[in-house]
Amino acid sequence: MGRPNSLNISALSIAQPWAQCVIEYGKNVENKTVNLKKRGTVLIYASSSYQSWRFESVRDDYRLNIEWDDVEKGIHPNEPFKPA
């Protein structure tokens, strides 16, 4: 049981640059190995782990030139949390 008056918030951890693609470029599918059956608003947590193949994949598949220094890590600042 949570703290009194705490909010029940869901967050989705997505590796960069995929988190950037979700927030800024309209990527609307994120495959996970577990079906959590969550719907509605969630926070996007952009993980801070770097793997060059992810960025190469975005360049090849989406023709987007996203660099590690250009992406946010942590909670995305352009999507502030707004409790209902």
Q: Is 44 left (phi over 0), alpha (psi -120 to 50) or beta?
A: beta
Q: What is the pTM of this model?
A: 0.64
pLDDT, tens digit, 9 for 90 and up, residues 46-82: 877 788 898 898 889 888 888 888 877 765 555 555 5
In this predicted structure, what is the pLDDT of residue 75?
A: 58
| Exposed/middle/buried for residue 3 (C-beta within 10 Å: 0-12, 13-18, 19+) | exposed
For the segment 25-48, the average pLDDT, to the nearest whole number, is 76
Angstrom distance (rounded) from CA 60 to CA 47: 21
